């Protein structure tokens, strides 16, 4: 993050899933530097703890870490309770954890792959929203940010399970937004739809390019008007805006972080 921090989420308390690396890591650093306390969770316990330790070395007491299988309802309940106790509440939920699944055409897909992608990419978001909601509404002004994908808005062959889950995240985010608004809770819900971003989720594409990262990135960028793939900070800045009170009148919306791809 190059811009000078200005306390855009000062006093907020955020829970970010899938935060040991990639997008989640960028979001955690950005929110902590902008004044929030952050609870980072991941299946990779060591990675999440290393991130929290690094943040705390720069901003003492700003970060907490837990191991977290986002497909396990009991773990959601435990992690949320621990995060609320550690931070003194919860006002931001970023459902970031996700997997790409197998790159395979539907005729060759397996129920095992389909169910795994559904569990991580979609069911986890339902569990997070369900169990975080009482704490979010108690905060008085809260934000849910669900990480979807451009694949939830425009399909691609060989990614059936991924496309389906990301489309469902898009619509589920709107459902949560409308339910919260109808109930009179000050809890906003929005979805973010990145295109190809430099994170490990691109590893299958790099493997298809013979392990050459530059070649893979160049191929992926061909359909993007800005002629590059994204950086984690490109997404993190959007999430920061949605987490902050700057977006207090924004709910039920989708944000495309795609270099203009879906404008074509």
Strand (E) or helix (H) holding 192 = strand 187-194
CA dihedral (249, 130, 7, 89) positive or negative: positive
The answer to whether residues 47 and 20 touch, using CB atoms and an 8 Å cutoff, is yes
For residues 223 and 195, give the distance between their C-alpha atoms in angstroms, rounded to a whole number.
10
Cα 202 to the chain's mean position, in Å?
16
CA dihedral (76, 135, 192, 169) positive or negative: positive
Given strand 63-67, what is the order of strands in its sheet?
Answer: 63-67, 37-42, 13-16, 92-95, 142-147, 187-194, 254-257
With tokens 């009148």, the residue in question is 249
Strand (E) or helix (H) holding 254 = strand 254-257
For residues 245 and 233, give the distance between their C-alpha atoms in angstroms, rounded to a whole number.
19
Does the active-site annotation cover 162?
A: yes
Instruction: Count CB-CB contacts under 10 A for residue 136.
Output: 27
For residues 135 and 12, give the distance between their C-alpha atoms in angstroms, rounded to a whole number.
13
For residues 216 and 204, give the distance between their C-alpha atoms in angstroms, rounded to a whole number.
10
For residues 211 and 184, give the distance between their C-alpha atoms in angstroms, rounded to a whole number.
51
Nearest by Cα to 117 from 128, 131, 140, 101 = 101
| Catalytic member of 162, 172, 237, 241 | 162
Residues acting as catalytic residues? 162
């Amino acid at each position: 993050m190059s811009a000078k921090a200005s306390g855009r989420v000062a006093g907020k308390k955020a829970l970010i899933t899938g935060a040991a690396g990639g997008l989640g890591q960028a979001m955690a650093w950005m929110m902590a530097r902008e004044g929030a306390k952050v609870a980072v969770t991941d299946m990779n316990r060591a990675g999440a703890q290393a991130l929290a330790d690094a943040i705390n070395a720069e901003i003492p007491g700003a970060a907490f870490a837990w191991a977290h299988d986002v497909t396990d309802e009991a773990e959601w309940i435990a992690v949320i309770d621990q995060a609320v106790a550690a931070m003194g509440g919860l006002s931001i939920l970023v459902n970031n954890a996700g997997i790409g699944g197998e790159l395979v055409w539907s005729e060759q897909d397996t129920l095992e792959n389909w169910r795994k992608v559904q569990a991580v990419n979609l069911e986890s978001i339902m569990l997070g929203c369900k169990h975080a909601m009482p704490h979010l509404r108690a905060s008085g002004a809260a934000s849910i940010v669900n990480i979807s994908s451009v694949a939830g808005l425009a399909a691609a062959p060989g990614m059936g399970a991924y496309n389906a889950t990301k489309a469902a995240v898009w619509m589920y985010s709107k459902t949560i937004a409308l339910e919260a608004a109808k109930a009179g809770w000050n809890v906003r819900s929005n979805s973010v739809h990145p295109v190809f971003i430099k994170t490990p989720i691109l590893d299958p594409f790099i493997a298809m390019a013979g392990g050459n990262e530059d070649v893979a990135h160049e191929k992926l960028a061909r359909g993007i008007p800005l002629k590059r793939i994204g950086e984690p900070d490109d997404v993190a800045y959007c999430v920061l805006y949605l987490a902050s009170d700057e977006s207090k009148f924004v709910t039920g919306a989708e944000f495309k972080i795609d270099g203009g791809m879906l404008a074509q």
